[in-house]
Chain A
Amino acid sequence: QVQLQESGPGLVKPSETLSLTCIVSGFSISSGYYWGWIRQPPGKGLEWIGIIYHSGITYFNPSLKSRVAISVDTSKNQFSLKLGSVTAADTAMYYCARLYDSGGWFFDLWGRGTLVTVSS
Protein backbone atom coordinates (compact mmCIF):
# COMPACT_ATOMS: atom_id res chain seq x y z
CA GLN A 1 0.00 0.00 0.00
CA VAL A 2 1.00 3.63 -0.33
CA GLN A 3 3.04 4.94 2.58
CA LEU A 4 4.63 8.28 3.38
CA GLN A 5 7.49 8.64 5.87
CA GLU A 6 8.94 11.90 7.12
CA SER A 7 12.59 12.16 8.08
CA GLY A 8 14.93 14.87 9.29
CA PRO A 9 16.51 16.45 12.36
CA GLY A 10 14.32 16.67 15.43
CA LEU A 11 16.16 19.71 16.76
CA VAL A 12 16.98 22.92 14.88
CA LYS A 13 18.63 26.05 16.23
CA PRO A 14 16.89 29.43 15.99
CA SER A 15 17.65 31.37 12.79
CA GLU A 16 18.74 28.19 11.01
CA THR A 17 16.93 26.24 8.28
CA LEU A 18 14.60 23.34 8.99
CA SER A 19 14.94 20.55 6.41
CA LEU A 20 12.65 17.55 6.12
CA THR A 21 12.17 14.82 3.52
CA CYS A 22 9.14 12.67 2.80
CA ILE A 23 9.83 9.28 1.23
CA VAL A 24 6.91 7.82 -0.70
CA SER A 25 6.57 4.07 -1.15
CA GLY A 26 4.00 2.04 -3.05
CA PHE A 27 3.20 4.84 -5.50
CA SER A 28 5.24 6.79 -8.03
CA ILE A 29 5.25 10.55 -7.39
CA SER A 30 5.53 11.01 -11.16
CA SER A 31 2.13 9.35 -11.64
CA GLY A 32 0.28 12.40 -10.43
CA TYR A 33 -1.19 14.11 -7.37
CA TYR A 34 0.24 17.03 -5.48
CA TRP A 35 2.40 16.29 -2.43
CA GLY A 36 2.34 18.54 0.57
CA TRP A 37 3.39 19.55 4.05
CA ILE A 38 1.21 20.39 7.04
CA ARG A 39 2.34 21.27 10.55
CA GLN A 40 0.78 21.26 14.00
CA PRO A 41 2.32 23.12 16.96
CA PRO A 42 1.98 21.25 20.25
CA GLY A 43 -1.60 21.45 21.50
CA LYS A 44 -2.73 23.54 18.52
CA GLY A 45 -4.43 23.09 15.18
CA LEU A 46 -3.30 22.14 11.69
CA GLU A 47 -1.57 24.64 9.41
CA TRP A 48 -1.15 24.08 5.69
CA ILE A 49 2.42 24.84 4.55
CA GLY A 50 2.40 24.10 0.82
CA ILE A 51 2.26 21.57 -1.98
CA ILE A 52 4.27 20.52 -5.03
CA TYR A 53 3.44 18.65 -8.24
CA HIS A 54 5.96 16.26 -9.79
CA SER A 55 6.59 18.85 -12.50
CA GLY A 56 7.71 21.30 -9.83
CA ILE A 57 4.62 23.51 -9.67
CA THR A 58 4.22 24.80 -6.12
CA TYR A 59 1.66 26.61 -3.99
CA PHE A 60 2.40 27.98 -0.53
CA ASN A 61 0.64 29.37 2.51
CA PRO A 62 0.98 33.15 2.07
CA SER A 63 2.03 33.57 5.71
CA LEU A 64 5.03 31.26 5.22
CA LYS A 65 5.81 31.84 1.55
CA SER A 66 8.85 34.05 2.12
CA ARG A 67 10.61 31.35 4.18
CA VAL A 68 9.46 28.11 2.51
CA ALA A 69 10.81 26.00 -0.31
CA ILE A 70 9.44 22.62 -1.42
CA SER A 71 11.24 20.45 -3.94
CA VAL A 72 10.68 17.05 -5.49
CA ASP A 73 13.11 14.31 -6.50
CA THR A 74 11.27 11.88 -8.75
CA SER A 75 14.33 9.62 -9.09
CA LYS A 76 14.23 8.97 -5.34
CA ASN A 77 10.43 9.18 -5.14
CA GLN A 78 10.60 11.78 -2.41
CA PHE A 79 9.89 15.44 -1.78
CA SER A 80 11.41 17.88 0.67
CA LEU A 81 10.63 20.92 2.79
CA LYS A 82 12.96 23.74 3.75
CA LEU A 83 11.85 26.44 6.17
CA GLY A 84 14.33 29.23 6.79
CA SER A 85 14.99 31.62 9.68
CA VAL A 86 13.16 29.43 12.16
CA THR A 87 12.05 30.56 15.60
CA ALA A 88 10.43 28.80 18.54
CA ALA A 89 7.07 29.41 16.85
CA ASP A 90 8.08 26.89 14.19
CA THR A 91 8.23 24.09 16.75
CA ALA A 92 5.64 21.60 15.58
CA MET A 93 4.78 18.15 14.36
CA TYR A 94 5.38 18.20 10.62
CA TYR A 95 3.31 15.91 8.40
CA CYS A 96 3.74 15.09 4.75
CA ALA A 97 0.67 14.04 2.80
CA ARG A 98 -0.75 13.32 -0.65
CA LEU A 99 -3.21 15.87 -2.04
CA TYR A 100 -5.97 14.67 -4.34
CA ASP A 101 -6.51 17.46 -6.86
CA SER A 102 -8.73 16.03 -9.60
CA GLY A 103 -12.13 17.49 -8.82
CA GLY A 104 -11.27 18.27 -5.22
CA TRP A 105 -8.49 19.42 -2.94
CA PHE A 106 -8.00 17.12 0.05
CA PHE A 107 -5.25 15.12 1.70
CA ASP A 108 -6.15 11.45 1.36
CA LEU A 109 -2.94 9.91 2.73
CA TRP A 110 -0.74 11.15 5.55
CA GLY A 111 2.61 10.27 7.03
CA ARG A 112 2.92 9.64 10.76
CA GLY A 113 4.59 13.00 11.31
CA THR A 114 7.89 14.07 12.77
CA LEU A 115 8.37 16.44 15.68
CA VAL A 116 10.74 19.33 15.10
CA THR A 117 11.82 21.47 18.04
CA VAL A 118 13.46 24.85 17.53
CA SER A 119 15.79 25.55 20.42
CA SER A 120 19.37 26.55 21.09
Chain B
Amino acid sequence: QSALTQPASVSGSPGQSITISCTGTSSDVGGYNYVSWYQQHPGKAPKLMIYNVSNRPSGVSNRFSGSKSGNTASLTISGLQAEDEADYYCSSYTSSNTLVFGGGTKLTVL
Protein backbone atom coordinates (compact mmCIF):
# COMPACT_ATOMS: atom_id res chain seq x y z
CA GLN B 1 0.00 0.00 0.00
CA SER B 2 1.26 3.46 -0.82
CA ALA B 3 1.45 6.26 1.72
CA LEU B 4 -1.11 9.02 1.42
CA THR B 5 0.28 12.21 -0.13
CA GLN B 6 0.74 15.29 2.05
CA PRO B 7 2.73 18.47 1.41
CA ALA B 8 6.09 18.30 3.15
CA SER B 9 5.63 21.68 4.79
CA VAL B 10 3.19 24.53 5.27
CA SER B 11 3.54 27.78 7.16
CA GLY B 12 1.42 30.62 8.43
CA SER B 13 1.50 33.60 10.73
CA PRO B 14 -0.23 33.73 14.10
CA GLY B 15 -3.94 34.31 13.69
CA GLN B 16 -4.04 33.09 10.11
CA SER B 17 -5.60 29.88 8.81
CA ILE B 18 -3.79 27.07 7.04
CA THR B 19 -4.96 23.91 5.29
CA ILE B 20 -3.09 20.64 4.93
CA SER B 21 -4.18 18.26 2.19
CA CYS B 22 -4.06 14.46 2.21
CA THR B 23 -4.55 12.69 -1.11
CA GLY B 24 -5.24 9.01 -1.51
CA THR B 25 -7.30 6.81 -3.79
CA SER B 26 -10.81 5.44 -4.03
CA SER B 27 -9.56 2.42 -2.07
CA ASP B 28 -8.80 4.49 0.99
CA VAL B 29 -9.56 8.19 1.46
CA GLY B 30 -12.18 8.33 -1.27
CA GLY B 31 -13.91 5.12 -0.35
CA TYR B 32 -14.53 5.59 3.35
CA ASN B 33 -15.20 8.36 5.85
CA TYR B 34 -12.49 6.93 8.06
CA VAL B 35 -9.83 9.63 7.74
CA SER B 36 -8.08 10.80 10.88
CA TRP B 37 -5.45 13.42 11.67
CA TYR B 38 -2.67 13.36 14.25
CA GLN B 39 -0.48 16.10 15.70
CA GLN B 40 3.06 15.27 16.79
CA HIS B 41 5.35 17.62 18.65
CA PRO B 42 9.09 16.84 18.65
CA GLY B 43 9.95 13.93 20.91
CA LYS B 44 6.31 13.23 21.69
CA ALA B 45 3.81 10.57 20.70
CA PRO B 46 1.19 11.48 18.10
CA LYS B 47 -2.10 12.91 19.37
CA LEU B 48 -5.48 12.35 17.71
CA MET B 49 -6.92 15.65 16.49
CA ILE B 50 -9.66 14.64 14.02
CA TYR B 51 -11.40 11.32 13.38
CA ASN B 52 -13.93 10.14 10.79
CA VAL B 53 -13.04 13.07 8.50
CA SER B 54 -14.45 15.89 10.59
CA ASN B 55 -15.01 14.88 14.21
CA ARG B 56 -12.99 16.32 17.09
CA PRO B 57 -12.17 14.28 20.19
CA SER B 58 -13.07 15.82 23.50
CA GLY B 59 -10.49 18.40 24.51
CA VAL B 60 -9.31 19.31 21.00
CA SER B 61 -9.72 22.98 20.13
CA ASN B 62 -12.48 23.89 17.68
CA ARG B 63 -9.81 25.74 15.71
CA PHE B 64 -9.08 22.36 14.17
CA SER B 65 -11.49 21.13 11.51
CA GLY B 66 -11.50 18.43 8.84
CA SER B 67 -13.22 17.83 5.54
CA LYS B 68 -13.07 15.59 2.49
CA SER B 69 -13.76 15.89 -1.21
CA GLY B 70 -13.29 12.88 -3.43
CA ASN B 71 -9.91 11.27 -2.76
CA THR B 72 -8.53 14.26 -0.86
CA ALA B 73 -9.03 15.05 2.81
CA SER B 74 -8.05 18.33 4.42
CA LEU B 75 -7.17 19.60 7.89
CA THR B 76 -7.72 23.29 8.53
CA ILE B 77 -6.31 25.13 11.51
CA SER B 78 -7.76 28.57 12.09
CA GLY B 79 -6.41 31.30 14.35
CA LEU B 80 -2.90 29.82 14.22
CA GLN B 81 -1.04 29.80 17.51
CA ALA B 82 2.61 29.15 18.26
CA GLU B 83 1.69 25.89 20.02
CA ASP B 84 0.24 24.55 16.74
CA GLU B 85 3.75 24.25 15.30
CA ALA B 86 4.21 20.50 14.90
CA ASP B 87 4.11 17.66 12.41
CA TYR B 88 0.69 16.55 11.19
CA TYR B 89 -0.19 13.13 9.79
CA CYS B 90 -3.34 11.92 8.12
CA SER B 91 -4.40 8.29 8.04
CA SER B 92 -7.13 6.29 6.39
CA TYR B 93 -8.76 2.90 6.55
CA THR B 94 -8.28 0.94 3.33
CA SER B 95 -10.29 -1.63 1.40
CA SER B 96 -7.76 -4.29 2.45
CA ASN B 97 -8.66 -3.91 6.15
CA THR B 98 -5.43 -2.05 6.75
CA LEU B 99 -4.54 1.47 7.73
CA VAL B 100 -2.24 3.82 5.85
CA PHE B 101 -0.59 7.04 7.01
CA GLY B 102 0.38 10.10 5.04
CA GLY B 103 4.02 11.14 4.78
CA GLY B 104 3.52 13.97 7.25
CA THR B 105 3.47 17.77 7.02
CA LYS B 106 5.65 20.10 9.06
CA LEU B 107 3.70 23.18 10.14
CA THR B 108 5.77 26.26 10.87
CA VAL B 109 4.19 29.22 12.65
CA LEU B 110 6.10 32.27 11.45
B53, closest chain A residue (CB): A104
B96, closest chain A residue (CB): A62
Q: Which A residues touch B97, using CB under 8 A?
A: 59
Q: Is the CB of B93 within 8 A of A105?
A: yes
Within 8 A of A (CB), among B74-99: 89, 91, 93, 96-99
Interface-facing stretch out of A25-33, A40-48, A73-81, A83-91 = A40-48
Q: Which B residues touch A106, using CB under 8 A?
A: 34, 36, 48, 51-52, 91
Task: Say yes or no: is B104 at the interface (Cβ < 8 Å to chain A).
Answer: yes
Q: Which A residues touch B102, using CB under 8 A?
A: 45
B102, closest chain A residue (CB): A45
A14 to chain B, nearest CB (A): 25
Q: Is the CB of A48 within 8 A of B91?
A: yes
Task: Say yes or no: is B109 at the interface (Cβ < 8 Å to chain A).
Answer: no
Size range of the chain A interface in the assembly: 20 to 34
Q: Is the CB of A61 within 8 A of B45?
A: no
Within 8 A of B (CB), among A22-67: 38, 45-48, 51, 59-63
Task: Say yes or no: is B18 at the interface (Cβ < 8 Å to chain A).
Answer: no
Q: Is the CB of B101 within 8 A of A47?
A: yes
Given A104-B51, A104-B52, A110-B45: A45 and B98 interface contact (C-beta under 8 Å) = no
Given A48-B101, A95-B46: A104 and B96 interface contact (C-beta under 8 Å) = no
